């Protein structure tokens, strides 16, 4: 998977999770799973970026 796709997929999962809750509150748990997956993908992307660049000091 290309690294630049990770933040796009993560952001889409977060938005879909919020929209699912806005439409139907009964689906809060599946929406929470989507939001957690989005946050994890964004975290992985940030972590990969930090590892690639290394310390700037």
Q: Which two structure tokens, joined as six digits, stand for 39?
A: 């946050």
Residue 24's region, left for phi above 0, alpha for psi from -120 to 50, else beta, is beta
Q: Which two structure tokens, joined as six digits, stand for 4?
A: 């630049």
Listed by start position, the domains of the chain span: 5-51
Q: Which two structure tokens, joined as six digits, stand for 19?
A: 């929209």
**C-alpha to C-alpha distance for 1 and 52, rounded to whole angstroms:** 16
The pLDDT value recorded for residue 35 is 93
Q: Look up the pTM and report it.
A: 0.77
**C-alpha to C-alpha distance for 14 and 57, rounded to whole angstroms:** 33
Structure confidence by residue, pLDDT tens digits, 7-56: 899 999 999 999 999 999 999 999 999 999 999 999 998 888 888 776 66
């Amino acid at each position: 998977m290309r690294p630049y796709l990770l933040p796009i997929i993560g952001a889409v999962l977060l938005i879909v999770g919020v929209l699912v809750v806005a439409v139907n509150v009964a689906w809060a748990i599946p929406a929470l799973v989507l939001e957690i997956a989005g946050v994890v993908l964004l975290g992985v992307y940030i972590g990969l970026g930090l590892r690639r660049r290394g310390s700037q000091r």
